[in-house]
């Protein structure tokens, strides 16, 4: 990410934390958020309601575990540190206890490719990690395993983690994971739903990568149609 001033990052972190609760994916003081900065990373403090949180309450942490500021960091600071250290492709880590994702997590159920949007997390499934006690290195290790080549995961008997280049992106992904979790829980009432095959999910993942770079999906036939040019009265291909 383009490193912004700490003041700007802190203001946005407070706003995103409040949006977590407003969106319904988080409740009370549960969940936490971190973002990379020049000195290491900023992380939400422990046991402080988001509606009372101010930018100065956010905790500056270093990758060696040291922290600065008047408040103690979230008890989950280890997985924030370890994910940011292991994943240079992301700058934000968002953790929440959204209801439907946690419903699946308490049963250690991953989200399969029952819907093509499962690919939003980067693969054909959204994995569920093994259980480990909150705030421990064991939980951090379990999260890293579940997040290998993924942008989101469920935490066994705990909640979910979503990653992003931006805080808004991580929040949007967490909301999508919760939506998929709800759909999957409801679909299973009718029986275990069919899943899309790996080759189709690979196509979906590639389409999403194309779109994330601001391009239209590379749909069949579109690239074979000559582009309309100035003075050309042929109709352009329609997506």
**Contacts made by residues 219-225, CB under 8 angstroms, sequence distance 24+:** none
Helices (H), 47-135: 77-86, 99-106
Domain 6-190 of CATH type 1.20.1260.10: no
The tens place of each residue's pLDDT in the chain, 239 residues long, gives 555 789 999 999 999 999 999 999 998 888 999 999 999 999 999 999 999 999 999 999 999 999 999 999 999 999 999 999 999 999 999 999 999 999 999 999 999 999 999 999 999 999 999 999 999 999 999 999 999 999 999 999 999 999 999 999 999 999 999 999 999 999 999 999 999 999 999 999 999 988 875 444 545 544 443 433 333 433 333 33
pLDDT at 3: 58
End-to-end CA distance of the chain: 32
Query: Where do the structural domains in the chain lie, given as residue ranges?
Result: 6-190
What is the pLDDT at residue 2? Answer: 53
- The secondary structure of residue 230, as a DSSP letter, is T
User: pTM for this structure?
Assistant: 0.87
Beta-strand pair 159-164/59-61? unpaired
Active site residues: 76
- What SS3 class is residue 151? coil
């Amino acid at each position: 990410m383009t490193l912004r001033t700490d003041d700007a990052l802190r203001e946005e972190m407070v706003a995103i934390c409040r949006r977590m609760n407003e969106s319904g994916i988080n409740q009370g003081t549960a969940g936490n958020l971190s973002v990379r900065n020049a000195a290491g990373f900023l992380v939400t403090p422990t046991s402080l309601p988001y509606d009372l949180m101010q930018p100065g309450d956010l905790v500056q942490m270093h990758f060696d575990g040291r922290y600065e500021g008047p408040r103690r960091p979230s008890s989950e600071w280890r997985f924030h540190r370890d994910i940011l250290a292991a994943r240079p492709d992301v700058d934000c880590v968002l953790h929440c206890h959204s209801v439907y994702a946690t419903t699946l997590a308490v049963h250690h159920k991953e989200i399969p490719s029952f819907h093509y949007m499962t690919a939003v997390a980067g693969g054909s499934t959204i994995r569920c990690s093994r259980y480990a006690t909150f705030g421990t290195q064991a939980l951090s290790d379990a999260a890293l395993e579940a997040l290998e080549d993924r942008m989101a995961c469920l935490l066994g008997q705990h909640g979910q983690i979503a990653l992003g280049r931006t805080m808004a992106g991580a929040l949007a992904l967490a909301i999508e994971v919760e939506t998929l979790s709800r759909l999957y829980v409801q679909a299973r009432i009718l029986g275990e739903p069919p899943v899309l095959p790996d080759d189709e999910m690979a196509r979906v993942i590639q389409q999403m990568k194309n779109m994330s770079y601001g391009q239209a999906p590379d749909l069949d036939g579109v690239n074979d149609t000559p582009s309309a040019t100035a003075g050309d009265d042929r109709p352009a291909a329609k997506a």
